[in-house]
């Protein structure tokens, strides 16, 4: 009987060891799963943070570039306006010169007409 008692105690001990191993495996698996979930959560948060940071930087750079382009366009428009103003003044000056010439020609023609008519 003693052999059986020894065997059963040994079997019980082995059974308890197996149960303890299974419990340890379950705990390890659960811990690994929790760690995996935590790692995924942290990775997701980090990705979101990086995305937001990157978008903010890109948005700021785009805003700067837009301002540079707008400033350049403004300067070019002002330069064109100044050029157009100079051109308008030149055209006015030429038109006035032509008008003076035309008036002189008309005066000469009227004078000639009057002189020929009086003679």
Domain ranges of the chain: 1-88
pLDDT tens, N- to C-terminus, the chain (119 residues): 444 555 688 888 899 999 999 999 999 999 988 898 999 999 999 999 999 999 999 999 999 999 999 999 999 999 999 999 999 999 999 999 889 888 998 999 898 888 887 66
Residue 118: predicted pLDDT: 66
pTM: 0.50
- Interatomic CA distance for residues 109 and 42, integer angstroms: 98
């Amino acid at each position: 009987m003693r052999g059986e008692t020894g065997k059963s105690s040994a079997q019980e001990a082995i059974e308890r060891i197996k149960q303890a191993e299974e419990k340890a495996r379950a705990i390890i698996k659960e811990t690994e799963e929790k760690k995996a979930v935590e790692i995924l959560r942290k990775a997701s948060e980090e990705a979101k943070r990086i995305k937001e940071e990157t978008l903010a930087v890109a948005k700021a750079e785009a805003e700067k570039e837009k301002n540079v382009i707008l400033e350049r366009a403004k300067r070019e428009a002002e330069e064109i306006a100044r050029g157009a103003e100079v051109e308008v003044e030149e055209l006015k000056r030429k038109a006035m010169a032509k008008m003076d010439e035309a008036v002189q020609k008309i005066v000469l023609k009227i004078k000639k007409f009057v002189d020929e008519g009086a003679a």
